[in-house]
Structure 1
């Protein structure tokens, strides 16, 4: 049984709709309508290639008529698992166009020609109730036919399931045969307890890897216990000399045999102590790159934008012409020109026309490091928007397809939430300062998560440098209590950042909160936030241990940290060259955090990833497909990209630059 069905124009005008239950009617008119969610989360976001959409217990199916700019939608309760919505959509679309084609054509043509709004055109020119009169009767007959067919299929399956199948017959016959099995007699039983003992001894011998041949030799050439219980000369089976000794545990590395003391540990600690070290002896010039420093306007320090044009200095034409080694006509054939070369003349684009074009487009995106599944969906979405459109000439076809692809990429990459992290921090701190609560100001907390080796600690320190440049006091919480050297690495970063931000008489801008190794990361993060609150720190950056997305125990531990402390931002740190793995990593990280944090309870239950930081961005040139894959999977923005070895090597992404890089040849 359907819950809702509607036909509407891409401009938002609803031509016809039907709700079959009072609840569905209320939902259809609310802001949280599944149809409104479909428009907001799928159609506007350029995810038209997805076959279905689920929201609040509803499953939604849709189809397009691009030449008339119409969308047909049906919604039903997901638990029903109906089989006919796809066929119903196709039949409804065919019948609707057959009945009202002239009216719809004139209506769409007037929309493009009129200078007034859609509402004015609707009110003055078109009477939809009169024009679409009789459609309800046709639709009712169509729906009744499909529901009758579905009912017959259910009844036939039910009749088949009630008949005893081969498995049931086999179970009955086996149960009957069990009753006829002969019982064990005393003659078939073992002769004596002594024989049982000998058999058990032989079994134990085989399980330890020794030979079971009477009088033979097992591993190491030792004699084995004879089957008749006699001594083979190497001792009986119960002889403890045959039990392998446990390998001794590796002792701590030390030059003598005495136990390690606190003094020994202090002597082996070569990390600098900020309280006693002479910071003036350290050279801090190599820690920053003057050419990559951001700009400071009205007291706000902003990192630079990543510029595709300056970042990719491998343009063949510009280099060749500047060196005088090539002529303008030697320009290589454009990838996109070769894609569209097969489409000529004036025609209505069909699925067969678009198939080779979309295939070449998919290969192009995959060469840009876009994950295969994402490239498939993007190209299918572009095809859905172009199918049925009438285009004239080679140039018109090329421009239309390029514009459709650029529009789709822009929609996917455009963030739905604010990427201004500094604004979020200021807003929370100002709100806390304005409150009259005596509990103190709660700092803004950011948790960095990701797989092993992607550069979480390094890029956390770059973010810390950016925050310090904006006058914020930062506490770094060392919650990676597993990896050797993780705490010492952060200690070095804090030392460097302290030297860069040190001013006479100024308060400490950066501090490390650590409790050593082997401790509970969730507890350390909680204590760090409390410490920051008591000591006037503005931001807490929580560093976590790297873990693979399939490691459930470690993902549960990370979810515990999230649910216990409820950080303001959860930032996933991933590599720019990750490719197809980006989809798996992000999907499982996001799902595990939401599921396991809900089970753990606490104020941060049900939290997922809030944004991404992509590292090693300087290694990919124009192959920036990881940005598209990550944003498509999560729907969350990329806050920063890391692109170098100094604290200033942090960039922001502009959507236009990423789209240009993805479309470049």
Structure 2
């Protein structure tokens, strides 16, 4: 497993490296120079290159960058906290002109290794790494009391499913133990005793690595009068100041009816957008457009609000047809219209696929649901329950449409492709108008799990690919949308979004802006509840009103 960290300057000089292979950073740095990397939030950027996940925290003339092998579910905030802490450590020792001190290396390595240990821990929970074999299996050293074997007959080994290195799903025997109590921790950060930064003792040492108290002092030091304080930290303090939280528009009421200070009002509206779950980088892009458009003009609050309203409306207004019924009914290819539904784990793909199926049934369209989530236990049975429910509801509709399920059980990547192809052929021979293909949920930041989507897309060749995004996810929606949009290769991309769980977020609907601006892909439907009829066409006007509220 590869992971590496460097601290460098824009000149290219590397000030520090930990476990470093410098050459993988070269391509990422070119993305930084060309500004083609993904900006997660202020001062934090990311990119996936050659199945390595890069993150970079930058401030002034200092960059702290790391990569690991893309198999991670650590969110950007945890990475930013670590890289920001390493940056502060670096600045502290740089000011003292003491970067050569061994203590500096120890403090940086502690923070880096704690993040890697968190990565390993989450990888174990995700089942993304091999479990160690049972301790002492086949090797009795004579130093411990032998355990008498049980005379009870053991049941046959249970077959488990896991993703292999190529991104395919394979079956493996459950012949490995979950005992981590003994083992060699050398080189394995996940087996090291947990090292916490706290104030419970004057100092703590682990393999002579670090003085914890000193790290506390650096990370928590008062920065009064320090010009290097993050601007976003100041803004965060202002947002949390109870004495100033009486409402956004009350802060700028004095401008109503007269000319405004463009910079000051823009800053307030930027805060307004971020408070609605719009990612900081996305909010900044929108506000910069408004400032550029209004610069040099006499601007009132009414003009500013209308310009911002128009810009948000423009973002959400589709630039392609979203009349899916028209597309389906004009299909004269002799092949059923194929729609594939993709998304992150737990966002509601199967549920929204069933809602979409009921909408099609209401419009007198024959629907075949194809069960291609062949990894998650119970996924096929879940779809069967939906089909049974929809058949009962369909019996009450004043039309002759039909719905059925096509499934071939559970299996690996080749099984998924074969199932999709067979479902399309079956739909053609049985006169189904539409094939709705359910797919396995996958972590957007895991390159090995995302890779099979291209193979699936090439084989099934769906007419439309719809991603289900979750309104609750907030700023991470930018990275989710970008990664899924690019997962199908250069020739294919997402066609539509369905935004689920909109009924749970009130007016915090910024996820819609995040996903559309990141990909230029329009929103087809929004999910608004738990029943099959709780799916609605996007009302751009209503969403914009929520954002401006």
TM-score by length of 1: 0.45
Aligned equivalent of 1:577, options 458, 467, 472: 472
C-alpha deviation, 1:552, in angstroms: 2.0
**1:379 corresponds to 2:287:** yes
Matches within 5 A, 1:270-285: none
Are the aligned partners of 2:453 and 2:487 in contact in 1 as well (CA < 8 Å)? no
Q: Matches of 1:340 and 1:424 in 2, distance apart?
A: 48
Are the aligned partners of 1:443 and 1:539 in contact in 2 as well (CA < 8 Å)? yes
Q: Matches of 2:527 and 2:157 in 1, distance apart?
A: 41
- Helix, strand or coil at the partner of 1:593: coil
Are the aligned partners of 2:364 and 2:399 in contact in 1 as well (CA < 8 Å)? no
Aligned equivalent of 2:460, options 565, 576, 583: 565
Which residue pairs with 2:368 in the alignment? Answer: 475
Aligned equivalent of 2:488, options 593, 598, 602: 593
Residues 507, 401 of structure 1: CA spacing in aligned structure 2 closer, same or farther, 3 A cutoff? closer
Q: Matches of 2:307 and 2:503 in 1, distance apart?
A: 29
Matches within 5 A, 1:300-311: none
**1:663 corresponds to 2:518:** no
Which residue pairs with 1:631 in the alignment? Answer: 516
Q: Matches of 2:352 and 2:542 in 1, distance apart?
A: 22
Aligned equivalent of 1:494, options 382, 387, 390: 387
Residues 343, 658 of structure 1: CA spacing in aligned structure 2 closer, same or farther, 3 A cutoff? closer
Matches within 5 A, 1:234-633: 251-252=157-158, 335-339=248-252, 341=254, 353-391=261-299, 397-428=300-331, 431-432=332-333, 441-502=334-395, 509-519=402-412, 520-595=415-490, 606-633=491-518
Residues 249, 614 of structure 1: CA spacing in aligned structure 2 closer, same or farther, 3 A cutoff? farther
C-alpha deviation, 1:505, in angstroms: 13
Are the aligned partners of 2:256 and 2:302 in contact in 1 as well (CA < 8 Å)? no
Are the aligned partners of 2:502 and 2:527 in contact in 1 as well (CA < 8 Å)? yes
Residues 250, 405 of structure 1: CA spacing in aligned structure 2 closer, same or farther, 3 A cutoff? farther
- Helix, strand or coil at the partner of 2:472: coil
Q: Matches of 2:317 and 2:324 in 1, distance apart?
A: 16
Aligned equivalent of 2:143, options 221, 240, 261: 221
Residues 53, 408 of structure 1: CA spacing in aligned structure 2 closer, same or farther, 3 A cutoff? farther
C-alpha deviation, 1:358, in angstroms: 1.6
- Helix, strand or coil at the partner of 1:523: helix
Which residue pairs with 2:7 in the alignment? Answer: none
Residues 365, 220 of structure 1: CA spacing in aligned structure 2 closer, same or farther, 3 A cutoff? farther
Q: Matches of 2:398 and 2:304 in 1, distance apart?
A: 61
Residues 222, 333 of structure 1: CA spacing in aligned structure 2 closer, same or farther, 3 A cutoff? closer
C-alpha deviation, 1:355, in angstroms: 2.4
Q: Matches of 1:547 and 1:644 in 2, distance apart?
A: 23
Unaligned runs of 5+ in 2: 1-32, 37-133, 148-153, 160-244
Q: Matches of 1:505 and 1:589 in 2, distance apart?
A: 38
C-alpha deviation, 1:335, in angstroms: 2.2
**1:645 corresponds to 2:530:** yes
Q: Matches of 2:398 and 2:364 in 1, distance apart?
A: 15
Structure 1 stretches of 4+ with a deviation exceeding 3 A read 51-54, 248-253, 342-346, 503-508
- Helix, strand or coil at the partner of 1:358: helix
- Helix, strand or coil at the partner of 2:408: coil
Unaligned runs of 5+ in 1: 1-50, 55-207, 211-217, 224-233, 235-240, 242-247, 254-331, 392-396, 433-440, 596-605
- Helix, strand or coil at the partner of 1:578: helix
Residues 506, 578 of structure 1: CA spacing in aligned structure 2 closer, same or farther, 3 A cutoff? closer
Which residue pairs with 1:47 in the alignment? Answer: none
Q: Matches of 1:477 and 1:334 in 2, distance apart?
A: 49
Give 1 or 2 for the bigger CA radius of gyration: 1
Are the aligned partners of 1:339 and 1:361 in contact in 2 as well (CA < 8 Å)? no
Q: Matches of 1:421 and 1:409 in 2, distance apart?
A: 24
- Helix, strand or coil at the partner of 1:572: strand
Q: Matches of 1:555 and 1:249 in 2, distance apart?
A: 35
Are the aligned partners of 2:257 and 2:302 in contact in 1 as well (CA < 8 Å)? no
Q: Matches of 1:249 and 1:410 in 2, distance apart?
A: 62
Which residue pairs with 2:213 in the alignment? Answer: none
Residues 53, 251 of structure 1: CA spacing in aligned structure 2 closer, same or farther, 3 A cutoff? closer
Structure ranking higher in helix proportion: 1
Q: Matches of 2:463 and 2:530 in 1, distance apart?
A: 27
Q: Matches of 2:372 and 2:531 in 1, distance apart?
A: 23
Matches within 5 A, 1:75-114: none
C-alpha deviation, 1:628, in angstroms: 1.1
Which residue pairs with 2:3 in the alignment? Answer: none
Residues 552, 250 of structure 1: CA spacing in aligned structure 2 closer, same or farther, 3 A cutoff? farther
Q: Matches of 2:318 and 2:397 in 1, distance apart?
A: 41
Are the aligned partners of 1:612 and 1:640 in contact in 2 as well (CA < 8 Å)? yes
Q: CA RMSD in A?
A: 3.1
- Helix, strand or coil at the partner of 1:341: helix
Q: Matches of 2:271 and 2:142 in 1, distance apart?
A: 60
Are the aligned partners of 1:209 and 1:219 in contact in 2 as well (CA < 8 Å)? no
Q: Matches of 2:531 and 2:155 in 1, distance apart?
A: 42
- Helix, strand or coil at the partner of 2:404: strand
Residues 466, 250 of structure 1: CA spacing in aligned structure 2 closer, same or farther, 3 A cutoff? same
Are the aligned partners of 1:502 and 1:508 in contact in 2 as well (CA < 8 Å)? no
C-alpha deviation, 1:336, in angstroms: 2.7
Q: Matches of 2:457 and 2:250 in 1, distance apart?
A: 49
TM-score by length of 2: 0.55
> Deviation string for 1:597-655 (max 9, x for gaps)?
xxxxxxxxx21111100111110111111111111111111101111111111111121
- Helix, strand or coil at the partner of 2:436: strand
